[in-house]
Amino acid sequence: MGMGRALAVALVGLNGHVIEVEADIGQTLPNFVLLGLPDASLSEARERIRAAAQNTGIPLSRRKITVNLVPASLPKKGSGFDLAIVMAALNAAGDVRGTSGTVFLAELGLDGRLRPVRGVLPAVLAAYRAGHREFVVAAANRAEAQLVKGAKVRAYECLAQVVLDFEADPQNLAGLEIGWATGAEAAAALQATAKEPAGMDLSEVAGQPVARLALEIAAAGGHHLMMVGPPGSGKTMLAERLPGLLPDLNDAEAMEVTAIHSLEHRGNGVAELMRRPPYERPHHSASTAAIIGGGSGIPRPGAASRAHRGVLFLDEAPEFDKRVLDALRQPLESGELVLHRSAGTAAYPARFQLVLAANPCPCGKATGKGINCECTPMARRRYFGRLSGPLLDRVDIQLQVNKLQLCQLASTEPRESSIQVARRVQLARNIAGERLKQWGLVHNADLTGRILRGPLRLDGHHTALLDKAMGAGVLSARGYDRVLRLAWTVADLQGRERPGSDEVGLALTLRQRGEGL
C-alpha cells in the first residue's frame, strides 16, 4: 500500500489546467475521501468509482482511500475526473503501473463502461501545450482527442481494457469483465456525429440588389449589418445566406471554434474540425446568460461565443431585452467575453459578425409614406429605442430593405449564386489580408483609427463628403472610422488599390440605411 498518481484536466472556460490526482491508501477503517474543491458531480465520483471497479472485477481497497486533486485551490467540476481517480487509486494499491505521466479523461458508468465527456478537445490541447503527450479517453471521444496533432491517444470502451493495458499483475485480473462493451457500439456512436447542413444559396433571394450588395460587402470585410424592412421583404433569407459567402476557417480558427463547441456538445463529442463558419440564431426571448454566457459555477459559453468566427443573427432585434442587446457592445469591440462569477472567471473568444433584422415599427407597415401604419409615433420611437445608439454605432452597414414588387418576385432572370459571390469575397479578403498582415490584422473591419488616419489615410478631397457628415453631427468619431473601413472593402471588391470619392460615398450611404441607392 502506498501512493498512486495520475493526471486529469480541469477546464475554466477554454483554459485547461493539468491536475495531478494523488491517491493514498491508509491503514484505517474503510472510507473514501475526496479533496481539492470538488463540485457536487465530482463528489459523487466516489460511489461511481467503487461500483465500476467492483463490477469490472478489480475492486478498490477496503481500507481508507484519500484522493487529492492538485492544485487544491482550483475548483474542480464535472465527471471527467472519474477515470483518473480510479487509476490513481489502483496505482496506489499496486494493481496498475505507469499512470503518473498519462492524462485520463472519461466518466465511468456503474458497470465500468467509459463514457464520453464534454471539452475533450480543449482539455487535450491544454495538456499537450503543458508538455504531456499520453492521453486515455473514452472510445466515443477518440476522434475529438486525435484532432490535436502530436498527441498520443488511446481510446477504450471499458475500465477493464484500461487496466489490462497498464501492466497490472495478471494474477489480480483473472476475473475482469470485458465482454459486454462492443467496438461496433463505439463505431456507431462516432458515425452518429451530425454533419453541418449545406448552406442556403443566394440565388434563391428574389430582387433586393442593394441588400445583396450589402451582404457581399459585409462578408468581404467582416462588417456588422442591420437590415430594416417590412415583413416578407427577405431580411431573414439574406441573413441565413451570409455564412455561405464566408471562406472556410483556417487551421487555427477551426481549432478555436471546435474547442468552443466541444464544451457544449453532448454525447459523442466532435469527430472533426469545424471548417465552416458557425451560425447562431437565438430566439428573441433568450436571456443574457443564453446570449453572453453564464450559469451556475464556472460560466459556460453563450450564443455569442458559439458564433465565434461566424455569424450571430438576431431576428426581430427590437424584441430582444435591451440589457441583452447592450451586453453585446463590449464583445463587438474586443472580440472576447470575460465572465466573472463567484465560482471563478472564464474568458471565451467572441469575434463574430452581428446581423440584426428589424421591422420598421411594431405593426411592420411603416414603409414609404407609412399610410397603412397602425402605430403611434410614440410606439415607433419606443420600438426602436430598444436598439441603443451606442450599439447601432458599432454596426457598420445599416440598410433599408424595401418591400418586394410583383415584377421582382416573378422575374426569371438568372441570379448570382452563393458560389459566385463567395469567389469575389475570397479575392477581396486575399487583397485585404496582404495589405493588413503588417499590422497583424485579417479583415478591414479590424482596422483601427490610428492606421486609417496614418498609413492608410485618404486624400481630403476623397473624404470631403464624410467630413461634412461628421461636421453636421450625422456621424460620430467611431462612425467615421467605420465608414472608412467600409470604403476599403468596397475598393477591394472592385479591385482598386485605394478608395476614392465613389467608394467613400457608397460606404456612407450604406451606413445611412441605403438612402440614395
Alpha helices in 222-336 (DSSP H): 235-241, 251-264, 288-292, 303-306, 322-326, 329-334
pLDDT on residue 178: 47
Point out the domain boundary residue: 137, 161, 191: 191
pLDDT-derived band at 180, boundaries 50, 70, 90: very low
User: Do 261 and 177 fall into the same domain?
Assistant: no
Instruction: Count up the domains in the chain and report the number.
Output: 2
pLDDT at 1 over 60: no
Q: Are residues 208 and 176 in the same domain?
A: no
- Residue positions counted in the chain: 517
Domain that holds residue 65: 3-191
Distances 330 to 117, 139, 342, 391 between C-alpha atoms, Å: 31, 40, 21, 9
Q: 210-236: string of b/e by CB count within 10 Å (b at 16+)?
A: bbbbbbbbbbbbbbbbbbbbbeebbbb
In terms of pLDDT, which residue wins out, 364 or 107?
A: 107
pLDDT at residue 174, as a whole number: 52
Q: Which residues of 339-370 are buried (b: 16+ CB within 10 A; e: fewer)?
A: beeeeeebbbbbbbbbbbbbbbbbbbbbbeee
State the helix-helix crossing angle for 464-471 and 477-493, rounded to 10 degrees.
160
In the listed set 446, 481, 498, which residue is the last one of a domain according to the structure? Answer: 446
For 45, 94, 95, 177, the CA distances from 53, given in Å and listed in that order, are 12, 14, 12, 10
With a pLDDT cut of 90, the percent of the chain lying above it is 60
Tell me the per-residue pLDDT of 20-40, one tens digit each, with 9 for 90 and over: 999 999 888 888 999 998 888
Which residue, 9, 61, 66, 63, is CA-closest to 35? Answer: 66
Which stretch, 36-45, 147-156, 360-369, has highest mean pLDDT?
Answer: 147-156
- Alpha-carbon torsion 9, 11, 17, 21, what sign? negative
One domain, residues 248 and 109: no
Is 147 inside a domain boundary? yes
Q: Which three cell numbers stand for residue 504?
A: 467613400
CATH at residue 106? 3.30.230.10
The domain spanning residue 432 has which CATH number? 3.40.50.300
Are 333 and 399 found together in one domain? yes
Confidence at 296, pLDDT banded by 50, 70, 90: confident
Whether residues 273 and 405 share a domain: the answer is yes
193 vs 152: CA distance, rounded Å: 22
User: Where are the alpha helices (H) located in 192-234, listed in sequence order?
Assistant: 209-221
In a domain, 171, yes or no: yes
Claim to verify: residue 56 and residue 140 sit in the same structural domain: yes
Residue 139's Cβ-count burial label (10 Å; 0-12, 13-18, 19+) is buried
Express each pLDDT in 323-340 by its tens digit: 999 999 999 999 999 988
| Co-location of 45 and 181 in the same domain | yes
More confident residue, 8 or 272: 8
Cβ atoms 466, 484 nearer than 8 A: yes
How many Cα atoms sit within 13 Å of 251 on the Cβ side?
Answer: 3
Note whether residue 32 is domain-resident. yes
From residue 502, alpha-carbon distances to 291, 431, 444, 463 in Å are 38, 19, 18, 10
Q: What mean pLDDT, rounded, does the chain reach?
A: 87
Which string of b and e fits 452-486 if b means at least 16 CB within 10 Å?
beeebebeeebbeebeebeeeeebeeebbbbbbbb
What pLDDT shows up at residue 184?
38
pLDDT of residue 264: 80
**What pTM was estimated for this model as a whole?**
0.85
Question: Could you give the CA distance from residue 434 to residue 185 in angstroms, rounded to a whole number?
Answer: 48
Cβ(226)–Cβ(317) under 8 Å?
yes
Q: Is 473 part of a structural domain of the chain?
A: no
Q: Is the dihedral of CA 94, 97, 99, 104 positive or negative?
A: negative
pLDDT band at 425 (very low <50, low <70, confident <90, very high): very high
Count of other CB atoms within 10 angstroms of residue 168: 20
On whether both 221 and 181 belong to a single domain, the answer is no
Pairing of the two strands 152-156 and 134-138: parallel
In a shared domain, residues 177 and 242: no
Kindly state whether residues 264 and 159 are assigned to the same domain: no
The pLDDT tens digits of the residues spanning 434-455 come to 999 999 999 999 999 999 999 9
476 assigned to some structural domain? no
The reply to whether 230 and 335 lie within a common domain is yes
220 vs 137, 353, 448, CA distance in Å?
40, 11, 17
pLDDT of 267 over the 70 cut: no
Does residue 253 sit in the same domain as residue 392?
A: yes
List the single range of 21-30, 117-126, 293-302, 422-431 with lowest mean pLDDT: 293-302
Indicate whether 458 belongs to any domain: no
Structural domain ending residue among the three candidates 133, 158, 191: 191
For residue 502, tell me if it sits in a domain: no
